[in-house]
């Protein structure tokens, strides 16, 4: 992220996580310059000028979000490393392979926001990334980059690394804050938003790992330089986790604006075994699916949204012609039904009902009315089945379970009918 590149996971040196390696490649130089000669407002201005949009899924402009921070003290910065969206593993690489880049971004962001205590929340299933980050934090303290009077600037910052207990719902920022406070990981009703009343009821900014990892480059090169990369509305580089039925799965950092065809068949090396492409999920399990007709759609936030889906968490899951789409939908719905916190009835009950109906269809006991039943249940979770989805729930988990249903209803009705009339999956 400190340079513009396209990479696969194994391309990183084995010592990239160490302080020495990071400093040898220019690490913390931006921090030294910023603390010595930049005012906090100047850093905020550069981030706003960059038009960096959040990389955690919501795609909200980072600088605008920072502008919402209430003036009261103390304030907190929380880094969302609860990367629990199926198919997403980009933040894992940043945490495990380049933790000092994240830490430098945290210090710069905290200085800009007047924050003196930051938290890095990492999902419980990430023990190695968590150890790497904790070690990097200790190294940063030892080198004078964290603690009191950082680099003689008079600025103080404490950083705490916290592991979650493995709940998907804690990727939602307010559920994460509840978990960080030692409570159940359940989303809060908004407003108030975290920027006004967040951690410990104090103003809090919650940003994704990849988002904050961009900050050193932006501050060092200027917001205008970042804003010059990529198409309008999708500035800068973005990491995508490509998996599924492709020849070259991995993490790829790319400039947005290319077509999906270029991404899947270029970077991904095409479909495995020479099979035909059937569908792909463009932005994590929460995103409605794309099919062959979308291959020439530009890979940008806005173009994907125009086609009723989202880039979300950056997880691209490719499915070839051997994939049973009913089974694929069932697996996604089963995940959301399992991960529902149970706080909202439409999500708690509706996702379970979707799972039960899909299970019946996949088992060969489906009925002609079942697809309409699935859509009726989905309409009760997300009224109108619109995009962006309308919500009857506190957070988007419930509507996320609807995405695979609308996808198979739109593109794979014949396959659902074949399950019903053939007594099970036609693919065997």
How far apart CA 244 and CA 373 sit, in angstroms, is 29
What gap in Å lies between CA 12 and CA 394, rounded to an integer?
A: 40
CA–CA gap between residue 95 and residue 364 (Å, rounded): 44
Instruction: State pLDDT tens for residues 194-245.
Output: 999 999 999 999 999 999 999 999 999 999 999 999 999 999 999 999 999 9
Residues 14-41, mean pLDDT to the nearest whole number: 95
- Mean pLDDT on 43-54: 96
CB 148 within 8 A of CB 254: no
Residue 308 has which token pair? 């009723």
Residue 76, strand partner residues: 204
The sheet carrying 277-281 orders its strands as 250-255, 237-244, 315-320, 277-281
Name the residue among 376, 375, 256, 267 with its Cα closest to residue 318.
267
Q: Which residue has the higher pLDDT, 4 or 23?
A: 23
Beta-carbon neighbour count of residue 12 at 10 Å? 15
The answer to whether 118 touches 159, Cβ cutoff 8 Å, is yes
Residue 5 pLDDT exceeds 80: no
pLDDT, position 10: 46
Question: What are the residues whose beta carbons fall under 8 Å from the beta carbon of 194, sequence distance 6 or more?
Answer: 173, 174, 177, 203, 204, 205, 206
- 8 A C-beta contact, residue 207 and residue 190: no
Calculate the average pLDDT of the chain: 94
How many whole angstroms separate alpha carbon 296 and alpha carbon 306? 13
For residue 422, count CB atoms less than 10 angstroms from its CB and return exposed for 0-12, middle for 13-18, buried for 19 or more: exposed
Q: Which two tokens stand for residue 73?
A: 């003290």
SS3 call for 162: strand
Q: What is the pLDDT of residue 391?
A: 87
- pLDDT tens digits, 236-287: 999 999 999 999 999 999 999 999 999 999 999 999 999 999 999 999 999 9
56: tokens are 């955690």
| Residue 59: predicted pLDDT | 86
The dihedrals phi and psi of 239, each to the nearest 5 degrees, come to -90, 135
Place of tokens 């994240």: 102
Domains of the chain, CATH where assigned: 9-227 (3.40.50.11540), 237-320 (3.10.20.600), 325-422 (1.20.1440.230)
**What single-letter DSSP state applies at residue 193?**
P
Whether pTM > 0.75 for this model: the answer is yes
Contact 410/325 with Cβ under 8 angstroms?
A: no
| Angstrom distance (rounded) from CA 2 to CA 213 | 8
For residue 9, what pLDDT is reported? 41
pLDDT, tens digit (0-9, with 9 covering 90-100), for 278-316: 999 999 999 999 999 999 999 999 999 999 999 999 999
Q: Give the integer Cα–Cα distance in Å for 333 and 331.
A: 6
**345 CA to centre of own chain:** 25
d(CA 365, CA 354): 15
Q: Residue 390 pLDDT more than 60?
A: yes
Residue 249: how many CB atoms within 10 A of its CB?
Answer: 20
């Amino acid at each position: 992220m400190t340079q513009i590149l396209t990479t696969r996971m194994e391309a990183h040196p084995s010592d990239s996580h160490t302080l020495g390696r990071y400093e040898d490649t220019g690490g913390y130089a931006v921090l030294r310059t910023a603390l010595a000669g930049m005012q906090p407002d100047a850093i905020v201005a550069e981030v706003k000028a960059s038009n960096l949009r959040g990389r955690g899924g919501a795609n909200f402009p980072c600088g605008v979000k920072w502008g919402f921070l209430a003036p009261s003290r103390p304030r907190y910065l929380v880094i969302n490393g609860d990367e629990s969206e199926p198919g997403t593993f980009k933040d894992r690489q940043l945490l495990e392979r380049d933790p000092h880049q994240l830490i430098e971004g945290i210090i710069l962001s905290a200085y800009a926001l007047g924050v003196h205590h930051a938290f890095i929340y990492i999902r419980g299933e990430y023990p190695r990334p968590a150890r790497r980050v904790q070690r990097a934090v200790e190294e940063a303290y030892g080198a004078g980059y964290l603690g009191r009077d950082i680099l003689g600037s008079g600025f103080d910052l404490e950083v705490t690394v916290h592991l979650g207990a493995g709940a998907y719902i804690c990727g939602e920022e307010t559920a994460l804050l509840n978990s960080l406070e030692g409570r159940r990981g359940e989303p809060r009703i908004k407003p108030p938003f975290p920027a006004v009343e967040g951690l410990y009821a104090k103003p809090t900014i919650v940003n994704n790992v990849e988002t904050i990892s961009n900050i050193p480059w932006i501050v060092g090169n200027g917001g205008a330089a970042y804003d010059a990369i990529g198409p309008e509305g999708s500035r800068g580089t973005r990491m995508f986790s490509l998996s599924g039925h492709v020849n070259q799965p991995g993490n790829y950092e790319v400039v947005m604006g290319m077509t999906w065809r270029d991404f899947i068949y270029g970077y991904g090396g095409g479909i495995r075994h020479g099979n035909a492409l059937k569908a792909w999920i463009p932005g994590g399990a929460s995103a409605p699916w794309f099919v062959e007709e979308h291959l020439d759609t530009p890979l940008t936030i806005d173009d994907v949204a125009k086609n009723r889906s989202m880039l979300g968490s950056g997880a691209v899951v490719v499915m070839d012609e051997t994939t049973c789409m009913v089974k694929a939908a069932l697996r996604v719905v089963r995940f959301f039904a399992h991960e529902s916190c149970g706080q909202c009835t439409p999500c708690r009950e509706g996702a379970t009902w979707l799972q039960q109906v899909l299970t019946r269809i996949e088992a060969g006991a489906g009925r002609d009315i079942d697809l309409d039943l699935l859509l009726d249940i989905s309409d009760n979770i997300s009224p109108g089945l619109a995009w962006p989805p309308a919500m009857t729930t506190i957070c988007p988990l419930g509507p996320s379970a609807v995405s695979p249903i609308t996808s198979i209803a739109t593109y794979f009705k014949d396959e659902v009918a074949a399950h019903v009339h053939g007594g099970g999956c036609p693919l065997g």
